[in-house]
C-alpha cells in the first residue's frame, strides 16, 4: 500500500498511510522515487530523512515502503570502486546522467552480469557454521574475496561447485537442522546500522605500522584501535589520512569522504587511482574502497556514508583481513545529525547538537576492534576519524565526544603547520592509550631499547618546553650549558625525527627498524654531549659536530643503506669525545 506526502521540511518528509512502517525502513519518496529512511514514527505518520535533494517534491505525491532497512550489497567488485554514501557507484551514475548526479537514479551497487571464477575451499558433505569460508574469488591481484556462510546459518554443506558465477548465483547449498536448504551466493546483503557478529574481541597488542615517525614512535595506534585527528583548517588532517591509507600495513583501506569540499574529494578521486601500492607495486586502488559524499550533496546522506563505509570494512575484516577505515570528517556527519534533529524539532543539546550525539559517535567507534571471527580466524578493523572543530577549538561537543570514544589523540597544531612542520602533530598535547600495551611488541620485534629511548626523547621534548619558558624571561645566553644542550638535542628530535615530508620519495615512509636506529643515534648524541658538557665543554663548541649534520640527513637514507650509514653516524658521535679532550687541554 502506498502512502502520501503530507509535509516537507528540507530533507525531512512526513508520510501518512504507509502500511506497517518500521524504524529504519527504506522508503521511495515522491514521483522521482527518492531514497529515504524512516527515522521516527508518530502515530500514523512516518518521518523520513531523504538522502537526495527534495527540491520540487510536492505534498500529495506517493511514497512506497520497501520494507527493508538501509543495506549494502557485500560481494566481489567492491574493491576498487567509488561509491556515494548509499553505495551507488559514481562511475555508473556518471555514465547514466552525466557529470551531475540526477535525482532518483537507481543504480545497482555491483555488476550483476559479471562472472567471477569461484574456487571451493571445502567439499560437500561436511558440517559448516556461520562465517565459515567455503571458497574464494580473485577480486583483484591483491585481494582474495572469501565466500562465507552468512551469519545465522549452520548445517550440512550439500552442494558446492567450482566455476564462473555472477554475484546472485548460488555457489553452494546448506541444509539446516530444521530441514530447510539455504543457498550461499557470492554476495550478501547486510543492514548498515547493525554491526556484524564476532566470537570475541581481543586485546590491542599489535601496532598498525604507519611509517610516520611521530605516530609509530610516540603515539602508536593498535590494529583494531581507534584514533581521532582533530585540527583546524589547513593543519594537514587529509594529508595524514592519505599517508596512512598509502603506507599503513593494513590489508584493505576504506576511505570515507564525509561532507568534505568537492575540490578535496576530486583530488582524492583523481590521485588515488594513480597511486602505487608500495608493498606490491600494483595500483593502490586494488586494495582500496572510496566512498565520496561531498559538502554539496544532500546533508542526510553524510550519515549514511559513515555506516556504509564501516559495514563494508567489517565484511572484509570477517574474511580475516586487517582493515583500516579513514573517516574525513566526522564533524560533517555531526552537522548532518544536528540539521536533521532541528527539522524534527527535537530538544537541542550543547551547541545545538542532538542530545544523542555522544551515543552515535561511541556506537560508530565501538565497531572497531581486533576480533576472533566466527570462522576462527583473526581480523581487525581500525577506525581513524578526522574532526574539524570550528576555529580549532577542541572543547566543542564533537571533538570531546570523539576523544571519549577513541584511545589515540593526534592533536594537530596550526602553528606547527604554519612553520611548515608536517605532520603538524603537537607532541605535548597528543597521547596514545595503547602505548603500554604496544611497547612489548616494539621491544621484542624491533629494538630492545625502543621504549627506553622513546621515554627519554619525550622527556627531552617536555624539558625543552619548560626551558623555553625560562629563556623567554632571561634570554638564551643566560641559560646554563646543560639547558642549552637539552634545547640542542630537542631541536634535533623535532626537526630530524618528528618532521617528515610526504612529498619526498624516501622520507615519506620510514620502516620501524629505521625509526629505531634514528632515535638510538639521537639518544647516543645526547649522551655524548651530556658527558662533554659535564666536563666543561661549552655547547657552542659542539654545534659544528659532524654527527649532527649526519643525523639531519638520516631521514633521506634509503632502507637498504641504513646499516652502513649508522656506522658512519656512530663514528661521528665518538668524535665528540675528541672535542671534549681538546677542550680539556685548552
Q: 116-186, what's its fold?
A: OB fold (Dihydrolipoamide Acetyltransferase, E2P) (2.40.50)
Three-state DSSP state, 545: coil
Q: Are strands 25-29 and 188-191 parallel, antiparallel or unpaired?
A: unpaired
Give the pLDDT score at 288.
93
Cα separation of 514 and 512, whole Å? 5
Q: What is the pTM of this model?
A: 0.93
Q: Count CA within 13 A, CB hemisphere, residue 199.
A: 15
Phi-psi region of 10 (alpha: psi -120 to 50; beta: other; left: phi over 0): left
Domains in the chain: boundaries: 3-68, 116-186, 200-432, 450-585
3-state helix, strand, coil in the chain (%, to 5): 40, 25, 35
Q: What are phi and psi of 235, to 5 degrees?
A: -90, -5
Chain segment 210-226, per-residue pLDDT in tens: 999 999 999 999 999 99
Which cell goes with 82?
567509488
Domain spanning 200-432: which superfamily? Answer: P-loop containing nucleotide triphosphate hydrolases (3.40.50.300)
- The answer to whether the 116-186 and 200-432 domains have the same CATH topology is no
**For residue 494, which of 419, 574, 436 has the smallest C-alpha distance?**
419
Cβ of 108: how many Cβ atoms within 10 Å? 13
397-434 burial, b at 16+ Cβ within 10 Å, e below that, comes to bbbbbbbebbbbbbbbbbebbeeebbbbbbbeebbbbb
pLDDT category of residue 536 using cuts at 50, 70 and 90: confident
DSSP 121-180: SS-TTSEE-TT-EEEEEE-SSS-EEEEEPPTT--EEEEEE--EEE-TTSEEEEEEETTS-
Q: Which of 135, 120, 123, 86 is nearest to 106 (CA)?
A: 86
Residues 6+ apart with CB under 8 A from 194: 69
- CA gap 44, 57 in Å, rounded: 21
Predicted confidence (pLDDT) at residue 269 exceeds the cutoff of 80:
no
Under DSSP, the state recorded for 316 is: H
pLDDT, tens digit (0-9, with 9 covering 90-100), for 456-473: 999 999 999 999 999 999
> What is the band of 237 on the pLDDT scale with cuts at 50, 70, 90?
confident
Residue pLDDT, tens place only, 147-200: 999 999 999 999 999 999 999 999 999 999 888 999 999 999 999 999 999 999
Q: How confident is the model at residue 525 (pLDDT cuts 50, 70, 90)?
A: very high
Q: Is the pLDDT of residue 294 over 90?
A: no
Reply yes or no on whether the pLDDT at 293 is more than 90: no
* Alpha-carbon span 215 to 208, nearest angstrom: 10
DSSP state at residue 581: H
Mean pLDDT for the chain overall: 91
Q: Of 308, 327, 291, which Cα lies nearest the Cα of 72? A: 308
Q: Which CATH class is domain 450-585?
A: mainly alpha
Q: What pLDDT digit, counting tens, does each position of 47-56 carry?
A: 999 998 898 9
Cell numbers standing for residue 78: 567492491
Helices 512-534 and 481-492, packing angle to 10 deg: 170
Q: What are the tens digits of pLDDT across the range 84-141? A: 888 999 888 888 887 777 788 888 999 999 999 999 999 999 999 999 999 999 999 9
Q: How far apart are CA 502 and CA 74, in angstroms?
A: 34
What number of CA atoms fall less than 13 Å from residue 399's CA on the CB side?
18
Task: Report pLDDT for 68.
Answer: 93
Q: What is the pLDDT of residues 404-428, one digit of tens each?
A: 999 999 999 989 999 989 999 999 9
Length of the chain equals: 586
Place of cell 581481543: 202
Going by the DSSP 8-state scheme, the letter that residue 12 receives in this structure is: E
pLDDT higher than threshold 60 for residue 146: yes
CATH class of 3-68: mainly beta
Number of neighbours of residue 204 by Cβ within 10 angstroms: 24
Q: Mean pLDDT across the stretch 297-301?
A: 78
Lowest mean pLDDT among 23-27, 52-56, 295-299, 375-379: 295-299
Predicted local confidence at residue 585, as pLDDT: 45
Amino acid at each position: 500500500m502506498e502512502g502520501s506526502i503530507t509535509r516537507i521540511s528540507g530533507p525531512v518528509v512526513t508520510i501518512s498511510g504507509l502500511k506497517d512502517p518500521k524504524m529504519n525502513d527504506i522508503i521511495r519518496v515522491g514521483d522521482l522515487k527518492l531514497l529515504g529512511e524512516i527515522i521516527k514514527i508518530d502515530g500514523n505518520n512516518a518521518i523520513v530523512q531523504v538522502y537526495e535533494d527534495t527540491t520540487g517534491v510536492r505534498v500529495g505525491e506517493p511514497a512506497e515502503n520497501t520494507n527493508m532497512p538501509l543495506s549494502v550489497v557485500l560481494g566481489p567488485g567492491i574493491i576498487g570502486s567509488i561509491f556515494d554514501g548509499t553505495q551507488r557507484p559514481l562511475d555508473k551514475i556518471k555514465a547514466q546522467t552525466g557529470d551531475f548526479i540526477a535525482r532518483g537514479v537507481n543504480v545497482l551497487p555491483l555488476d550483476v552480469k559479471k562472472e567471477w571464477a569461484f574456487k571451493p575451499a571445502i567439499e560437500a558433505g561436511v558440517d559448516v557454521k556461520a562465517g565459515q569460508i567455503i571458497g574464494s574469488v580473485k577480486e583483484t591481484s591483491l585481494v582474495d574475496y572469501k565466500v562465507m556462510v552468512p551469519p545465522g546459518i549452520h548445517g550440512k554443506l550439500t552442494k558446492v561447485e567450482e566455476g564462473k558465477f555472477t554475484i546472485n548465483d548460488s555457489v553452494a547449498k546448506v541444509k539446516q537442522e530444521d530441514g530447510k536448504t539455504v543457498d550461499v551466493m557470492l554476495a550478501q546483503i547486510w543492514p548498515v546500522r547493525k554491526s556484524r557478529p564476532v566470537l570475541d574481541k581481543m586485546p590491542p597488542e599489535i601496532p598498525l605500522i604507519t611509517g610516520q615517525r611521530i605516530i609509530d614512535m610516540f603515539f602508536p595506534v593498535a590494529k583494531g584501535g581507534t584514533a581521532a585527528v582533530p585540527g583546524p583548517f589547513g593543519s594537514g588532517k587529509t594529508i595524514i589520512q592519505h599517508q596512512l591509507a598509502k603506507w599503513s600495513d593494513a590489508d584493505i583501506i576504506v576511505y570515507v569522504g564525509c561532507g568534505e569540499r568537492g575540490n578535496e574529494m576530486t583530488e582524492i578521486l583523481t590521485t588515488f587511482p594513480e597511486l602505487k601500492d608500495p608493498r606490491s607495486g600494483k595500483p593502490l586502488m586494488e586494495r582500496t574502497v572510496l566512498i565520496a559524499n561531498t559538502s554539496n550533496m544532500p546533508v542526510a546522506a553524510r550519515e549514511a556514508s559513515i555506516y556504509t563505509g564501516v559495514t563494508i570494512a567489517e565484511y572484509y575484516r570477517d574474511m580475516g583481513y586487517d582493515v583500516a577505515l579513514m573517516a574525513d570528517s566526522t564533524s560533517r556527519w555531526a552537522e548532518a545529525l544536528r540539521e536533521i534533529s532541528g527539522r524534527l524539532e527535537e530538544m537541542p543539546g550543547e551547541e545545538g547538537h542532538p542530545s544523542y550525539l555522544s551515543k552515535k559517535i561511541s556506537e560508530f567507534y565501538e565497531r572497531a576492534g581486533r576480533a576472533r571471527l566466527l570462522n576462527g580466524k583473526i581480523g581487525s578493523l581500525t577506525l581513524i576519524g578526522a574532526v574539524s572543530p570550528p576555529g580549532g577549538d577542541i572543547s566543542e561537543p564533537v571533538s570531546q565526544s570523539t576523544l571519549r570514544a577513541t584511545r589515540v589523540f593526534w592533536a594537530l597544531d596550526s602553528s606547527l603547520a604554519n612553520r611548515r612542520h608536517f605532520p603538524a602533530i603537537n607532541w605535548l598535547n597528543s597521547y596514545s592509550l595503547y602505548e603500554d600495551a604496544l611497547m612489548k611488541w616494539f621491544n621484542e620485534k624491533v629494538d630492545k631499547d625502543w621504549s627506553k629511548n622513546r621515554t627519554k626523547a619525550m622527556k627531552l621534548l617536555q624539558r625543552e618546553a619548560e626551558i623555553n619558558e625560562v629563556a623567554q624571561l632571561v634570554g638564551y645566553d643566560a641559560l646554563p650549558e646543560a639547558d642549552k644542550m637539552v634545547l640542542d638535542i630537542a631541536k634535533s628530535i623535532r626537526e630530524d625525527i618528528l618532521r617528515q615530508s610526504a612529498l619526498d620519495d624516501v622520507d615519506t615512509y620510514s620502516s620501524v627498524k629505521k625509526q629505531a636506529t634514528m632515535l638510538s643515534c639521537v639518544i647516543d648524541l645526547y649522551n655524548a654531549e651530556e658527558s662533554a658538557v659535564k666536563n666543561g665543554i661549552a655547547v657552542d663548541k659542539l654545534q659544528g659536530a659532524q654527527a649532527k649534520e649526519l643525523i639531519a640527513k638520516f631521514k633521506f637514507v634509503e632502507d637498504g643503506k641504513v646499516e652502513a650509514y649508522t656506522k658512519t653516524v656512530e663514528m661521528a658521535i665518538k668524535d665528540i669525545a675528541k672535542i671534549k679532550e681538546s677542550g680539556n687541554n685548552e
